Chain A
Amino acid sequence: MKLAALVVLVGCGAGAITPSQTTALPAHQTRMIDTTPKERRRMVSPEVYLRAYLTWFGGLVPLDVQNRARPKGLFDAWDDYLSALGLPDYKTDLPRQTQSNTLMLATLGRLGEALCARAAEHDLHGGKTPLDQRVVFAFDLDGADSDETFMDRFDVLHRTFLGYPAKLAPGERVTKFHALWTDVAARHAKAKNPLTADETAWVAVCTALVQHPEAELY
């Protein structure tokens, strides 16, 4: 027994493995690490949104926009919307809202709809407004409907609200918007007043673009 224990001890104690010297692994490829903190896009501030909105409405002052947009219940009064847009109220120490909320999105939707419907009445309906005097829909509705003509017209709105050409838009945006246009036009096929089917379809496209996340963020 004693002998067996001695054999075990000798066997374990001898020939200890020492760790090798640490060396860096050879590089395969050098890549730059981007340590810039990444965040989601910023919200367009309400002041910028308001100024853009007034510009899209043809450079009107706020009270004129209100007067023009109000008929048929499309718009109430600016006072009903200003706080919902996230504006700070320094008088009451209400801070600027830096995140969106459902009320804000509903407000943006309502404002967008008012803008697009009124702009279509001004720009498209009756076809009397010269092209250079159109505030949003700076294109003619003459000619046959095709993917190409839709793309050209859609590009005008895409640039207006999102700031870049439609051809650079991701995925199938153009196709989807064309489908929206076709669907709305078909559902309003018999409509003539206040807008024709085509005009109503463009209002739908415009309304969707003006409240697109890319329009509200940057």
Chain B
Amino acid sequence: MRSFRVLLLAGLAGFALTARDTRANLAVADYRYFRALSIDLAGRPPTRAELADFERADFDLDAWIESHLTGDAYAERLRRIYLDALRLEIGPSFQYVPNPVMLRRQQITGPDGAPMFVYFRRGQRRVDPARDGDFCLTQDETGQQFPTNAPPTGTAKPIAQAVLDERTVVVKPWWLYADYRETTPTDVVAPEWVKRFPGFVPAPALLMEPDGKTKATSVRVCREEAQTAETGAVYVSGRVAAKKGEPLPGGRLTQPPGDSGFAKTAKGRAVSCLSGTGFSSSVECGCGIGLERCLPNAGPQNEAPAFVMPARTPLGEDMPFEANPQAPAAWIRMWWGEEASKFLDALFIEDRDFREVLTSRATKVNGPLAQFYRYLAGASCCGPGADVGYSQPEPLFDPAAVPEALTPEDTATWLPVADRGPHASGILTMPVFLTKYGSRRARAHVLYNAFLCKDFVADSVKLSPSNDPDLMKRPGCSSCHQTLEPMAAYFTRVQESDWTWLPATVFPMSNPKCANGKGGGLCKQIYDPAFDKLRGAYGSPVHAEQGPAGLANDLIAAPEFAPCVVENVAQSLLGRTLAPEDDAWKLQLVKVFVDGGYRMKSLVRAIVKSPRYRAGNDRR
């Protein structure tokens, strides 16, 4: 009886407390508003505990909103708006398999008769014509032939120990050792790496020896690939190409590389081993310390597995769904996309001026991106540019700006980079943007659409035959291209589907050697014979010299920029397109956004507190 009384008293006290401390007059609309706020600003519906808080008499909704206008969920909500518009992830249709970067492997028979792996680069320059540009072991030595991008053929025989020692070396590579740069690396891949380097999981095939049982603690790699020099001398073989029908040296299946025009003119000159030119023209360039300039492939083909990674990460890379071994290209493409996401998140979380999305020279990088910008990005340079002396790439992202603390395994640490370099400009110069939108026109188009909320709609004119190369004049084309070509011209000096910058000091706007369609590879690839200008520059040579930063400045100065941001954000939060009845409200929001220094927080605050957000989606 006594305990019942205690319970009764406690119950009454609880009731009195509840009655005093909760808001009894809350309506369904209030709850729905709070749920909408929670979904948009906290990234999920409210929990029961949060609803209980909401019902408390002293609950301050304004303070709640204010406290949720920052943080990961808020940033993700805004990021989603711009990623839906820009779709900044690269799929397998963009193959990133540059020979200077991709370290492939072949399986041979070791001196003891057991199978063993040997890593190599396709196209690696070597002095011996039997092995130059190809695998470092020949048919005579292994009993096998090594077709391009395919497993070996023929009957394997044990390789002589002396040959193996002469042609190859043993290396402790970066994907097995976090301290690979030490003289004696010891920090070998281990189960505890899951916590230290979440998301960095080498494919099982990279972690095991060919027997599938023994853990790999080092790799055997062709001697030339293991070189660590920063520069190499341009090599000229002086070889004469074999005539048709003549046997190829060493039983190889393809012709050894010949001497390029660049090699002949620059013989002995030092070239950067970080550039594609260094790779293709010097026998002294390798994959660097711990093979850090290369990405491993568990096979000889283009897309052999390398890293276990999720195919999709809708909740971010730290909340992975199913993962499976994927090629190193997929690994790099994923981190390119993550760079854009982290860059956008920083803008929103730090409530920075949103115009920086296009203009900022800052970014954030983690270990894989640091490795890419330091060692891999230059590999696509310089192609025919070498013929005019462009062998040391002038980067969009200065490798010297990359934080030194990051190792390639360090996927979880994101460090800021205050200034990528003079050519950098927001997302416009990030690899994910430049490869997702490979052509100059595609780049201009998506920006026109996402940041000015405009699109190109063709005129309904009668098309007449024309061979005018100037699309700004050609009937039927001109209505769109009068705007598009000058915008696309801003990307003239960034190679298409790549990030290689074409500096004016090496590539003048017009090159007399290429005039009137003259000249070879350089003239055809870099210059447009129809206009005697750099390709893509004819729409506006002035824009071409300004580069992507010029386009960024044009876009943010456009009168459509701020209204477009407002439109994108408001439409996403309301879940509907803005109607003419919204025009006055939109104008108010534009003023809020601009007066607030183009910061998202003021804009989102104004939207979620507006009656339109609160009741607009309640058609009853």
Contact = CB atoms under 8 A, between A and B. Distances in A.
B91 A92 contact: yes
Contact of A138 (B43, B48, B92, B619): B48
Given A50-B315, A138-B48, A37 B84 contact: no
A90 B93 CA distance: 12
Interface stretch (A74-82, A140-148, A186-194, A199-207): A74-82
Interface string B31-62: 11011101100011111100100000000000
B32 A164 contact: yes
B314 A47 contact: yes
A63 B322 contact: yes
A79 B320 CA distance: 11
Contacts of B521: none
Interface in B190-204: none
Interface in A60-99: 61-63, 66, 77-79, 82, 87-93, 95-96, 98
A163 B45 CA distance: 7
A51 B27 CA distance: 26
A170 B620 CA distance: 13
B80 A63 contact: no
A35 to B, nearest CB: 5
Contacts of A51: 43-44, 315
Contacts of B27: 168
Interface string B316-335: 00011110000000000000
Interface stretch (B9-17, B228-236, B286-294, B610-618): B610-618
A98 B319 CA distance: 24
Interface string A136-173: 00100000000000000000100111011100101000
A89 B579 CA distance: 28
A169 B84 CA distance: 35
Nearest to B333: A91
Contacts of B321: 62-63, 78-79, 82
A38 interface: yes
B87 interface: yes
B90 A91 contact: yes
Contacts of B575: 39, 41-43, 98
Contact of B47 (A37, A55, A164): A55
Interface residues of A, number: 47
B311 interface: yes
Interface string A5-43: 000000000000000000000000000000111111111
Given A39-B575, A82-B321, A92-B91, A163 B84 contact: no
A179 interface: no
B89 A37 contact: no
A1 interface: no
B174 to A, nearest CB: 27
Contact of B576 (A35, A37, A55): A37
A45 interface: yes
Contacts of A61: 319-320
Interface residues of B, number: 48
A44 B615 contact: no
A103 interface: no
A218 B32 contact: yes
B76 interface: yes
Contacts of A88: 84, 87
Contacts of B34: 163
Nearest to A92: B91
B114 interface: no
B461 interface: no
Given A37-B576, A40-B617, A168-B31, A160 B48 contact: yes
B439 to A, nearest CB: 15
Contacts of A156: 48
Contact of B48 (A91, A98, A159): A159
B322 A45 contact: no
Contact of A52 (B45, B319, B322, B612): B45
A47 B576 contact: no
A48 interface: yes
B83 interface: yes
B459 to A, nearest CB: 26
A46 interface: yes
B166 interface: no
B534 interface: no
A62 B320 contact: yes
A38 B619 contact: yes
Contacts of B44: 48, 51-52, 55
B446 to A, nearest CB: 11
Contacts of A38: 616-619
Contacts of B314: 46-47, 50, 82, 87
> Taking each of A48, A50, A88, which has the highest tally of chain B beta carbons within 10 Å of its own beta carbon?
A48
A38 B579 CA distance: 10
A135 to B, nearest CB: 11
Contacts of A168: 27-28, 31
B561 to A, nearest CB: 23
B88 interface: yes
Contacts of A91: 89-92
A42 B616 CA distance: 10
Contact of B320 (A50, A63, A89, A170): A63
A90 B80 contact: no
A37 B91 contact: no
B88 A218 contact: no
Given A38-B618, A93-B87, A159-B48, A79 B311 contact: yes
A90 B88 contact: yes
Nearest to B322: A79
Given A39-B619, A62-B321, A78-B322, A47 B315 contact: yes
Contacts of B32: 163-164, 218
B48 to A, nearest CB: 5
Contacts of A55: 44, 47
Contact of A45 (B48, B80, B89, B579): B80
B581 interface: yes
Contacts of A35: 581
Nearest to A94: B87
Contacts of B43: 47-48, 51
Closest 7 CB pairs of A and B: A42-B575, A91-B91, A164-B31, A90-B89, A163-B35, A38-B619, A90-B87
Interface of B: 27-28, 31-32, 34-36, 38-39, 43-48, 51, 76, 80, 83-84, 87-92, 311-312, 314-315, 319-322, 337, 574-576, 579, 581-582, 611-612, 615-619
Given A41-B618, A61-B319, 9 more contacts: A39-B616, A39-B619, A40-B617, A42-B617, A47-B315, A52-B44, A55-B47, A96-B84, A163-B45
18 contacts: A35-B581, A36-B581, A36-B612, A37-B616, A39-B617, A40-B619, A41-B575, A47-B314, A61-B319, A62-B319, A62-B320, A90-B337, A159-B48, A163-B34, A163-B51, A164-B28, A164-B35, A168-B31
Interface of A: 35-48, 50-52, 55, 61-63, 66, 77-79, 82, 87-93, 95-96, 98, 138, 156, 159-161, 163-165, 168, 170, 218
